[in-house]
A and B are shown apart, each in its own frame.
Chain A
Amino acid sequence: MSSASRYIAGLFLAAGTAWLCGCHTAPIPPPVATGSHPTGANEAFYRTNPVGNDPVGVADGRRLFRWYNCYACHGPHGGGAIGPSLRDRRWRYGDSDAQIFTSIAEGRPNGMPAWRNKIPEVQIWELVAYIRTLDTSREPNPPQEPANEASRDPKESTSIAPEKPNATAGRQ
C-alpha cells in the first residue's frame, strides 16, 4: 500500500473512530485559511492533494474522468469542448490543488456543476491528480493520433476561389 493510500486510510479510520467515541483520537491536519474566494465557495480542506502523484490515484482519476462524464464536457483527453481545456496553461479559477478541488467540489458560475456530496472527496482528489498530469510526461494516456491519420492532415491553404483584386482595397 503506498504511503498516500495509507495516509488516506488512516484518515478514514480516524474519522470513523472519532464518530464512535465523539472525540479525535488521531492527529488531523488543521483547516487551511485560504482567504476570500471570488465565488465565495468553500475552499478545500487540504491545501495540497493527499493523493499526490500516486500512479494508482492518477489511474483511478483517469477512470473517474470517464465515469463521471468529465470527458463529455472537457474532452476525452481534457482538450476542452463545452468546458475549457484542462491541458493548457489558462486556469480561470486557479491551478493549485486546492483550487482545482474547489472547482470540482463547489462548481463554478459559468457551467461547472458541483460534485461535493455526490461523489466521495477522495475521488475528487484523484481527479485532481489525473488532471495535473495532462500535457506532462506523467499523463497516462496522451492523445496520440494513429499513424493512418497522418495523411489526412487538411491543407493549410484556404479556399481556391480567386481573389478579386479590387474587391476590398481601401473600403472599410
Chain B
Amino acid sequence: MTSSIPGAISDIHLVAPVADGQWTMPTGDYGNTRYSPLHQINTSNVQNLHVIRKLSTGIFRGHEGAPLVVGGTLYIVTPFPDKLIAVDLTRPGFPVKWTFQPNPDPSAQGKAFRDVVNRGATYADGRIIYNTLDGYTVAVDAKTGKLAWKTQIGDVQNGETLTMAPTVVHNIVFVGNSGSNFGVRGALTALDAQTGKILWKAYSTGPDSDVRIGPDFKPFYAKDRGKDLGVSTWTPEQWKRGGGAVWGSISYDPELNLIYYGTGNPGGWNSSMRPGDNKWTVTIWARNPETGMAKWAYQIEPHDSFGYDAVMENILVDMPWHGRMRKLLIHPGSTGYVFVMDRETGELLSAQPYEPVNWAKGFDLKTGEVIPNLTKMPRYGKYVDDICPSVTGAKAIASSSLSPQTGYLYIPAHNTCMDFEDTTANYITGTPYLGAIVRTYPGPGGYQGELVAWDVAHAKKVWSIKDNAFPVNGGVLTTGGGLAFYGTMDGSFRAVNDRTGKVLWQFKTPSGIVGNPMTFTGPDGKQYIAVYSGIGGWMGSVDFPYITASDPYAAHGAAGAMRHIKSATHPGDYLYVFGE
C-alpha cells in the first residue's frame, strides 16, 4: 500500500503506485486517481506553459481517453479506424515513429452509439494492448509496432462493439463491451496477456453461472441477494437483450486482490418492456481478477427508466470516514450522485448529489435502496418533462481525478435535464433497441457545465468553475504541483489551483476537449502535459457536419442542449503537448 505521496494529506493512502513520469495504463494508476506527483510544473510557473508539439491524427471524430507514455515513446490510439501511433520523445519535434493499422470493419461505424471513439490503450510486458470498434482486442509490440495477437470479443453485426480502454492485472487483460443500446448482453472478458486466449467471461445478465456468482458472493444488501437474479428479475428471455455493457474503466486493489467496475443501462430505454429489477444492470461489481468470481455487487438503480448507467470511474483510496480509516470506493455517477462505498464489503456510506437531481429523492443507506421520485417515471406516448439529470448524465465518461494533496475529487460535471417519452421498441438485430424519444436542455441555475471540487470526507462541493453554455465533457488531471488540469467543450485547456479553484493558465485549442489530460517526464527530464483536442462523444457529436443541430431531437436529443456548439468550436484531430 503506497502512502508516501509528498504533500499528501496524512491519512490518505492510495492503493497502488501512481503515474510518476510515465503513464502506462489508461487510468494513470490502478486506483483510478489520475494523480501524478510530478511538480516541475506548479502554481508558481504554470503561466509559462506553452505548446511544444501539436500532432494531427487525421481523424475528425471524438478523441476520448489519453495517450500513454512508456520510456521514451508516446502512444496515441485514434478514433475509428483505431490507429495506434507511436511518437518518439527522444528526438526534437517528437516525430512519429510508426503507425499500426488494425483495419476494423467499416460497418462498425453504424453500431457506435456515442461516436466512433476509442478510449485508449494500456501497456503490459512490452506490448500496447487496446480494443477496436469492431470487437477485437489487439496486442502490438511496443518497440516495433507489429501485431502480437488479436482476439475477437464479440460480433459487431449484433451491435456489440468495443470502445473502452483495457486494464491488465497479473497478466490478465480485462475488456468490457459496448452495446447496451443495441440490446447486447453486457460482459467483462478476461484474456491471457501473453497469448490473447480468453480465460473467462462475466456477463451482466443471466444465470449465476454466466454472471460468475458463486459461494463467495456476499452482497452487502438484502436486495442484491438471491439465486439467478440475472434471470428472475426480468420477463422471460428479456435478459438476453439485457444490456449492462461494461464500457468504463477498471480499478484494482492489490491488497484485497479485487477488480472493480460498473455496468451500463438495460437494453431498451422503455422500461415498461422489462418489468423487474433488471439485474445486473446499473451495478457496481467487485470480482477476483484470476477467476472472475464476484465478491460483492451493488445495484445502484433497479429497473432503470432513464438510460442511466454505473460505468463511471471507481476511485480507490483509504482515508478517514466519520472518524475511522476505511477502504473507500468513490463513484461519481452519471445519475448525479457521488457514491462513497466501503470497497471491502460493498456497503454504501454516502450518496450525495453533485448536480441538480430529481429522478430520485435519495438513497436509504440502511437498505441501499434508492428512493425514486415516481412523478418522473416516463409514460408511453407522452412526455414527462424536466427530468434531471438527462440520459446524457451528470457526467460523461471523461474521468474525474482525486488529489491526495487536497482530498478533493475533481468532477467534470454536466447540468443537463430532459423530456422523455416512452415509445415502441422493436428489437431488430444490429439496430438500436431504444423505445424512447428524448430532448435535452440545460438544467436550472443558468449554467450547463461545472468543474466541481468535491470534498470527499465531508461529501460536499467546496468550489466550482461554471460554464454557462456547455457541459464540462473533458477529464481532469491532478498533479503534485498543486494543479488540476481540465478542458472545456469549446476547447479551452486550463490549469487551476487545486485548493482555491483559481484559473492560473489557459490555452484555447481549436476543438472541444473530451479526452483526459495526462502528464509525463520526457527523456530530457522535463515535465510535459498532454491532452487531445478533438470534439466528439455523444454530446460533442452535435458539432459534426452530418448532424442537424437545429433539430433538438438529433443526436438522441443531445442537440437540444448543444445547439450552439457549431458556433463555439469545430471538429479537430489534435494531440497537444505543453511544456515550460
Which A residues are within 8 Å of any B CB, using their own CB?
A: 66-69, 71-73, 75-85, 87-88, 90, 109-113, 135, 143, 145-146, 148-149, 152-164, 166-168, 171-172
Contact with A along B270-297 (1 / 0, CB 8 A): 0000000000000000000000000000
Tell whether, in the assembled complex, residue A164 and residue B503 are in contact, meaning their CB atoms are under 8 Å apart. Answer: yes
Which A residue's beta carbon lies closest to that of B109? A111
B residues less than 8 Å from A75 (CB atoms): 548, 551, 553-556
* Residues of chain B contacted by A109 (CB below 8 angstroms): 106-107
- Asked whether A154 lies within 8 Å of B426 as measured between CB atoms, the reply is no
Can you name 15 A-B pairs with beta carbons within 8 Å? A66-B423, A67-B424, A69-B426, A69-B432, A72-B431, A79-B547, A81-B556, A152-B441, A155-B446, A157-B469, A159-B449, A159-B466, A159-B488, A164-B503, A167-B506
Query: Which residues of chain A come closer than 8 Å to B54, judged between CB atoms?
Result: 172
Task: Apart from A81-B554, A110-B110, list 17 A-B contacts with CB within 8 A.
Answer: A69-B426, A72-B433, A75-B555, A80-B551, A82-B113, A85-B548, A143-B552, A152-B442, A154-B468, A154-B564, A155-B469, A157-B469, A158-B468, A158-B488, A158-B568, A162-B503, A164-B505
Say if the beta carbon of B470 comes within 8 Å of chain A.
Answer: yes
The 10 A-B pairs at the shortest CB distance, nearest first, are namely A111-B110, A79-B554, A79-B551, A72-B432, A84-B546, A69-B431, A152-B441, A171-B50, A79-B548, A111-B109
Q: Which residues of B contact A85 (CB under 8 A)?
A: 546-548, 551, 554
Residue B527 is within 8 A (CB to CB) of chain A in the complex: no
Q: Choose among B50, B108, B507, B544 the residue that contacts A111 (Cβ–Cβ < 8 A).
A: B108
B555 nearest CB neighbor, chain A only:
A81
Residues of B290-311 whose CB lies within 8 A of A = none
Q: Could you tell me the distance between the alpha carbons of A153 and B549 in the complex, rounded to whole angstroms?
A: 13
Residue of A nearest to B432 (CB): A72
For B548, the chain A residues whose CB sits under 8 A away are 75, 78-80, 85, 87-88, 135
Bound state CA distance, A12 and B381, in angstroms? Answer: 35
B559 within 8 A of A: yes
Cβ–Cβ < 8 Å partners of A84 in chain B: 546-547
**Shortest beta-carbon distance from B139 to chain A in Å:** 27
Task: Report if B345 contacts A (CB, 8 A).
Answer: no
| Residue B439 CB within 8 A of the other chain | yes
Whether B441 contacts A149 by the Cβ 8 Å rule is yes
Alpha-carbon separation in the docked complex, A109 to B109 (Å): 9
Q: Is the CB of A113 within 8 A of B431?
A: yes
Cβ of A152: which chain B residues have Cβ within 8 Å of it? 441-442
Q: Are B434 and A72 in contact (CB under 8 A)?
A: yes
Hey, which chain B residues are within 8 Å of A78, CB to CB? 548, 551
The CA-CA distance from A77 to B559 in the complex, in Å, is 12
B47 touches A166 (CB 8 A): yes
Judged by a CB distance under 8 angstroms, whether B112 is at the interface is: yes
CB-CB < 8 A to B111: which residues of A? 82, 111
A-B contact count (CB 8 A): 171
- Whether B561 pairs with A154 at a CB distance below 8 angstroms is yes
Chain B residues whose CB sits within 8 angstroms of the CB of A80 once the complex forms: 544, 546-548, 551, 554-555
Query: What is the predominant secondary structure among interface residues of chain A facing chain B?
Result: loop
B236 at the interface (CB under 8 A from A): no
Minimum Cβ distance to chain A for residue B241 (Å): 13
**In the complex, chain A residues whose CB is within 8 Å of the CB of B466:** 159-160
Indicate whether B226 reaches chain A with its CB closer than 8 angstroms: no
| Residue positions of B touching A, CB distance < 8 A | 47, 50-51, 54, 106-113, 383, 385, 419, 423-424, 426, 428, 430-434, 437, 439, 441-442, 446, 448-449, 465-470, 488, 490, 492, 494, 503-508, 541, 544-548, 550-556, 559-561, 563-564, 567-568
CB distance from B379 to the nearest CB of A (A): 15
Of all chain A residues, the one with the shortest Cβ separation from B442 is A154
Is B506 touching A76 in the complex (CB atoms < 8 A)?
Answer: no
Closest A residue, CB atoms, query B558: A81
Q: How far is the CB of A131 from chain B (nearest CB, A)?
A: 13
The smallest beta-carbon distance between A157 and chain B, in angstroms, is: 5
Q: Does B470 contact A154, Cβ atoms closer than 8 Å?
A: yes
Cβ-defined contact, B424 with A66, below 8 A: yes
Of chain A, the residue at the smallest CB distance from B430 is A113
B107 and chain A: residue at smallest CB distance:
A111
| Contact for A73 among B432, B470, B488, B492, CB less than 8 A | B432
Judging by beta carbons under 8 Å apart, are A77 and B551 in contact?
yes
Query: Are B110 and A112 touching (Cβ within 8 A)?
Result: yes
Shortest Cβ gap from B413 to chain A (Å): 13
Partner of B553, one of A79, A112, A168: A79
Determine whether the beta carbon of B432 is less than 8 Å from that of A82.
yes
Q: Give the nearest-CB partner of B112 in chain A.
A: A82
Distance in Å: Cβ of B300 to nearest Cβ of chain A: 25
Which of B50, B426, B439, B555 lies in contact with A145, CB distance below 8 A?
Answer: B439
Report if A76-B426 is in contact (Cβ < 8 Å); known contacts: A148-B385, A160-B468, A172-B51: no
CA distance A109 to B81 in the complex (A): 14
Contact B551 A159 (CB under 8 A): no
Q: A143–B505 Cα gap in the complex (Å)? A: 42
Q: Quick check: B47 and A164 within 8 Å, CB to CB?
A: yes
Q: Which residues of A contact B547 (CB under 8 A)?
A: 79-81, 84-85
Task: Report which of A73, A79, A168 forms a contact with B507, defined as CB distance below 8 A.
Answer: A168
- Is A68 touching B428 in the complex (CB atoms < 8 A)? yes
Contact of A76 with B555 in the complex, beta carbons under 8 Å: no
A67 touches B559 (CB 8 A): no
| Pair A156/B442 contact, Cβ less than 8 Å | no
Give the chain B neighbours of A72 by CB distance below 8 A.
Answer: 431-434
**Which residue of chain B has the shortest Cβ distance to A172 in the bound complex?**
B51
Decide: A167 and B507 in contact? CB cutoff 8 A. yes
Assuming the A-B contacts A154-B441, A154-B442, are A167 and B109 also in contact, with contact meaning beta carbons closer than 8 angstroms in the complex?
A: no
In Å, the complex CA distance between A69 and B182 comes to 11
Residues of A within 8 A of B110 (CB): 73, 82-83, 110-113
Q: Which of B383, B424, B431, B508 has the most CB of A within 10 A?
A: B431
Compute how far the CA of A52 lies from the CA of B103 in the bound complex, rounded to whole angstroms.
Answer: 41
A69 partner residues in chain B, CB cutoff 8 A: 426, 428, 431-434
Using A113-B430, A167-B507 as known contacts, say yes or no to A79 and B559 having CB atoms under 8 A apart.
yes
Q: Are B506's CB and A164's CB within 8 A?
A: yes
Q: How far is the CA of A18 from the CA of B430 in the complex (A)?
A: 36
List A contacts of B490 (CB < 8 A).
158-159
CA distance A93 to B385 in the complex (A): 38
Given contacts A69-B426, A80-B546, A109-B107, contact A156 B564 (CB under 8 A): yes
